[in-house]
Structure 1
Amino acid sequence: MIARNDDGVPFFEFPNLAGQPGVRHGVFTRTGGGGSAPYASLNVGFGVGDRPEVVASNRGIVSRCMGDLSLVFIRQVHGAGVVVLKSGDAHAPASGRPLTGDALVTDIRGTGLVIQTADCQAVMLFDPRKQVAANIHSGWRGSVRNIIGETVRAMTSRFGCDPADIRAGIGPSLGPCCGEFVHYREEIPREFWKYKGRNRHFDFWAASRDQLSAAGILEENIFSSGLCTRCRTDLFFSYRKERSTGRMAMVIGLH
């Protein structure tokens, strides 16, 4: 991944999305904000125990790093719901309507789509031809429901995207080194057991790659960060390791 720094705020970019015309994106870390332990320091999640004024300030920091994109957050519920924000729709961010789901898709310029993470994958998609961006919250529950495939279908059906044009980035998340599922026989469908390694550890990075490919995205257009959040709590929040912790911002938007 490409390391960036905006006035002391570090973040990463996917090499296959960096430099693409019309889009900004940022994989933010836990550092560069105003929070204190256990939320130190760039926590953007309300409702985890951090002070609301600090969270609001941190969200402002993220927006400024993204060129003052207007950030859109959703209430993530570990499902497969896709929220489409299309120019002229009643669901546009300006309507003030509360949004619930686990993926966002838009063609609206000046809008930054935010997924909050602390071990789950954020999967960013961008179609440079149609100028459509998407951001996906793909935890293990979303993965088994194939929220990635649902999001690509929304891009094709609502915006006329061709999956072969789409670039995809899989963000830092729980890796196969730490992705242990003790009760996998009850929780994870059998068709996902092919991603199980030793000691009940699952490789959901590989699962996401396969789902992206199955949706028609070319292998050469897929980049995975390969960074495990539980291994790197110096950089990232990890619910698995810390329990009481913050949420990072994963942002993509058109400008």
Structure 2
Amino acid sequence: MISAKINGVSFFQFPNLLSFPKLRHGVFTRNGGFSREPFKSLNLSMSVGDDEGAVKRNKEIVSMCMDNGELVFARQMHNEDVIVVSGSSSPPFIGDALVSAIENRFLAIKIADCQSVLMYDPEKNVVANVHSGWRGSIKNIIGGTIAVMKERFGCAPSDIFAGISPSLGPCCAEFINYKSEIPGQFWKYMDHENHFDFWRISMDQLRLAGVIPENIYSSGICTKCNTDLFFSYRGEKTTGRFAAVIGMKE
């Protein structure tokens, strides 16, 4: 991934998404905000016990880095519900994937080990942001989101570019009770004893939905191994949530 900085705030970008003039996106780190321990410092979640005033100021920081666009958050439920964000729609948005063709509304997902999968179709000017934890992976929320992009906006999967955010890597994605938690068709993704490669699952789900492999970029960064940069629930338990954001400017 490519590191960027605006007004002292660092975030990462996917190289395959940087060539589109209308598009703005960023995967933010945990640094540069106003929250105090154990949420230090750029926490974007109101539901982890952080001070609401600090979170509000943190959201303003992220918005500023996205050309002061409106941030659209969902109440993430670890399900497969896909929300289409229109010009007239308003919160609460309840689900785990956001899709939009509206400019200046920036789709934001909050994570701390789960994946954010950012998608953009430059032909139809449609963006999507998917919260895919292990439950979302099993339910193939990625494939469900691409199906909505096809049905509602006429997107061709071969036109879609995708980026998989920093998240829990196969080094740390341990599931001791995987036989009862993870369906058997996913066991082929076991990297080593009790550890699963959810990056590879997401890449395969993107490909099976029709996204060209050359259009997919996986960060390959494990959040639990990099708690200096990212919040990690597995690594820290009580912690914040960092944001991944995508949207279009006029």
Task: Give the TM-score category using the shorter length.
Answer: over 0.9
Deviation of the 1:85 alpha carbon: 1.5
Residue 82 (1) aligns with residue 82 (2):
yes
Per the alignment, residue 13 of structure 2 pairs with 13
Deviation of the 1:65 alpha carbon: 0.4
How many residues matched?
Answer: 249
Per the alignment, residue 141 of structure 1 pairs with 135
Per the alignment, residue 35 of structure 1 pairs with 35
Per the alignment, residue 112 of structure 2 pairs with 118
Per the alignment, residue 65 of structure 2 pairs with 65
- Code of the residue aligned with 1:132 in structure 2: it is V
**SS of equivalent to 2:222:** coil
Asked whether the equivalents of residues 21 and 128 of structure 1 are also in contact (C-alpha less than 8 Å), the reply is: no
TM-score by length of 2: 0.98
Q: Distance in 2 between matches of 1:51 and 1:44?
A: 11
Q: Distance in 2 between matches of 1:77 and 1:224?
A: 24
- Code of the residue aligned with 2:188 in structure 1: it is K
Deviation of the 1:47 alpha carbon: 1.5
Per the alignment, residue 53 of structure 2 pairs with 53
Post-superposition CA distance 1:169-224 (Å, at most 9, x none): 00000000000001100000000000002220000000000000000000000000
Q: Distance in 2 between matches of 1:98 and 1:4?
A: 31
Q: Distance in 2 between matches of 1:97 and 1:10?
A: 28
Per the alignment, residue 160 of structure 2 pairs with 166
Q: Distance in 2 between matches of 1:208 and 1:44?
A: 24
Q: Distance in 2 between matches of 1:139 and 1:46?
A: 19
Q: Distance in 1 between matches of 2:31 and 2:242?
A: 9
Deviation of the 1:155 alpha carbon: 0.3
**SS of equivalent to 1:197:** strand
Residue 191 (1) aligns with residue 163 (2):
no
In the TM superposition, structure 1's runs of 4+ consecutive aligned residues that sit over 3 Å from their partners are none
Q: Distance in 1 between matches of 2:85 and 2:189?
A: 33
TM-score by length of 1: 0.96
Deviation of the 1:21 alpha carbon: 2.2
Deviation of the 1:19 alpha carbon: 2.7
RMSD across aligned positions (CA): 0.8
Q: Distance in 1 between matches of 2:91 and 2:111?
A: 23
Per the alignment, residue 127 of structure 1 pairs with 121
Per the alignment, residue 24 of structure 1 pairs with 24
Q: Distance in 2 between matches of 1:149 and 1:117?
A: 20
Q: Distance in 2 between matches of 1:20 and 1:81?
A: 28
Q: Distance in 2 between matches of 1:197 and 1:32?
A: 34
- Code of the residue aligned with 1:145 in structure 2: it is K
**SS of equivalent to 1:68:** coil
